[in-house]
């Protein structure tokens, strides 16, 4: 009943637009972590491969394994591997990011045991986000280890903390400067190393920092974190369901758990069969977030339940079984998400397993 329709021609459109935005010398890494931001990693990866993408990125080794088991041949970068994933990384020909001495040492140990050489890895540096990555001052340590390592360092990268924010931005400029210094140190070691810094918003706001590769996630799926840039992209997914039941309430009757909403007057209420377990978080309750029925705005009332929520349809002429749009091209997921105090990333990547993905 509840379906996420995914329009692959729009994915192709977005990819084409993104390619036009980056320098012809730069290449795209398509980020398909978190089940391709909820859109279905295997199908999206297959489509991207058909569209000529040669590098994919996932968060965990298990995500990479799923892609390999489903026949994906691209290079697959693992952004956030755990040292205990080493054997999986080797077995499924994944390319790990190495972001700490611990990761470097553990992976080297395993590769030496297996007498593997030139294993492709990507070095991640922390330039200010303080999430994950080597510190620039650890480059000396790395230099001391490089000749005796089993690695082929394919790329060196970092991640901006505020790429969606407008220029001038001192913090971002300092991150870029720090990355430039790291880049020149590595170029003096090996000129074949590639460099990358930008995610989706970065591609739009910092076009001079394309470097060799860019890492594109949310914009593939149609969102650019900016109203202007959004106009060039098409949301590839539309989430719809059907009204399960309609109730007529008198003044002072209540809706949902803990009597979360009280009718100030006669009200018609529709029950929509999608809830927490499907990715509609608690923040969407009682916050005037609209869904769309017969092209009219129906606001969510009361607390969200595990499998359902309720909307006010007093002024909408509709019936049980009528279609309900949670988000589509005209009412994009970022608007639904932001009205509820969430963001497109969280909403899309939370879309639950029991929602059918339908590829068109």
Ligand X SMILES: *Cc1c(COP(=O)(O)O)cnc(C)c1O
Peptide bond connecting 94 to the previous residue in cis, omega within 30 degrees of 0:
no
Q: Which of 8, 31, 156, 347 binds ligand X (CB under 6 A)?
A: 31
Q: Which of 46, 122, 154, 215 binds ligand X (CB under 6 A)?
A: 215
What residues act catalytically? 33, 257
Residue 214 binds ligand X (CB under 6 A): no
CB of 15 to ligand X, least distance (A): 13
Task: Collect all residues with Cβ–Cβ distance below 8 Å to 3 and sequence separation of at least 6.
Answer: 239, 240, 241, 355, 356, 357, 358
- Asked if 337 and 347 touch (Cβ cutoff 8 Å), the reply is yes
Which residue, 33 or 46, is less far from ligand X as judged by CB? 33
Q: Give dist(CA 320, CA 246) in Å, integer.
A: 6
CB of 218 to ligand X, least distance (A): 4
Which residue, 233 or 355, is less far from ligand X as judged by CB? 233
Which residue, 34 or 300, is less far from ligand X as judged by CB? 34
Which residue, 11 or 218, is less far from ligand X as judged by CB? 218
Count of alpha carbons within 13 Å of 215, Cβ hemisphere only?
A: 25
CB of 246 to ligand X, least distance (A): 39
Distances (CA, A) of 81 to 95, 265, 347: 10, 55, 24
Residue 235 binds ligand X (CB under 6 A): no
Distances (CA, A) of 302 to 61, 258, 271: 40, 9, 11
Q: Give dist(CA 341, CA 8) in Å, integer.
A: 28
CB of 126 to ligand X, least distance (A): 11
Which residue, 216 or 263, is less far from ligand X as judged by CB? 216
Closest Cα to residue 121, out of 87, 79, 85, 158? 79
CA angle (135, 139, 143) in 5-degree steps:
155
Q: Which of 217, 235, 275, 332 binds ligand X (CB under 6 A)?
A: 217
Residue nearest to ligand X (CB): 217
Binding mask 172-211 for ligand X (x = CB under 6 A): ---------------------------xxx----------
Which residue, 14 or 268, is less far from ligand X as judged by CB? 14
**Which residues between 257 and 316 bind ligand X (CB under 6 A)?**
none
Distances (CA, A) of 348 to 39, 91, 351, 353: 8, 30, 6, 12
Q: Which of 8, 28, 72, 216 binds ligand X (CB under 6 A)?
A: 216
CB of 65 to ligand X, least distance (A): 18
Which residue, 307 or 346, is less far from ligand X as judged by CB? 346
Stretch that binds ligand X, among 10-18, 205-213, 214-222, 336-344 (CB under 6 A): 214-222
Helix (H, G, I), strand (E, B) or coil at 60: coil
Q: Which of 6, 218, 233, 272 binds ligand X (CB under 6 A)?
A: 218
DSSP 8-state class, residue 98: E
Task: Collect all residues with Cβ–Cβ distance below 8 Å to 108 and sequence separation of at least 6.
Answer: 145, 149, 150, 151
Read off φ and ψ for residue 208, nearest 5 degrees.
-80, -5
Size, binding site for ligand X by CB under 6 A:
12
Residue 159 binds ligand X (CB under 6 A): yes
Residues that bind ligand X (CB under 6 A): 31, 33, 79, 159, 199-201, 215-219
């Amino acid at each position: 009943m509840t379906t996420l329709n995914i329009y692959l021609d729009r994915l192709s459109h977005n990819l084409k637009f993104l390619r036009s935005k980056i320098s012809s010398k730069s290449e795209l890494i398509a980020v398909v972590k978190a089940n391709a931001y909820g859109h279905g990693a295997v199908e999206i990866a297959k489509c991207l491969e058909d569209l000529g993408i040669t590098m994919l990125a996932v968060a965990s080794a298990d995500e990479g394994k799923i892609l390999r088991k489903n026949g994906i041949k691209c290079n697959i970068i693992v952004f956030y591997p755990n040292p205990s994933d080493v054997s999986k990384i080797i077995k499924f020909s994944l390319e790990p990011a190495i972001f700490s001495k611990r990761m470097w040492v553990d992976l080297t140990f395993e590769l030496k045991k297996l007498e593997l050489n030139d294993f492709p890895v990507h070095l991640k540096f922390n330039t200010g986000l303080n999430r994950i990555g080597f510190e620039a001052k650890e480059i000396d340590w790395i230099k001391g280890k490089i000749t005796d390592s089993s690695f082929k360092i394919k790329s060196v990268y970092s991640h901006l903390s505020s790429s969606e924010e407008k220029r001038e931005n001192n913090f971002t400029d300092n991150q870029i400067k720090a990355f430039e210094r790291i880049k020149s140190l590595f170029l003096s070691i090996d000129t074949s190393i590639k460099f990358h810094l930008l995610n989706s918003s970065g591609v739009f706001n910092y076009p001079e920092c394309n470097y060799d590769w860019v890492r594109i996630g949310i914009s593939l799926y149609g969102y650019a974190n900016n109203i202007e840039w959004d106009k060039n992209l098409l949301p590839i997914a539309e989430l719809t369901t059907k009204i399960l039941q309609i109730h007529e309430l008198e003044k002072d009757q209540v809706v949902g758990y803990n009597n979360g909403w009280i009718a100030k007057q006669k009200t018609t209420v529709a029950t929509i069969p999608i809830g927490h377990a499907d990715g509609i978080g608690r923040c969407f309750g009682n916050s005037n977030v609209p869904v769309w029925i017969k092209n009219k705005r129906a606001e969510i009332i009361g607390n969200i339940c595990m499998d359902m929520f309720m909307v006010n349809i007093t002024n909408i002429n509709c019936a049980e079984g009528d279609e309900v749009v949670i988000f589509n091209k005209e009412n994009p997921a970022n608007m639904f998400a932001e009205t509820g105090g969430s963001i497109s990333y969280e909403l899309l990547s939370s879309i639950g397993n029991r929602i059918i993905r339908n590829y068109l």
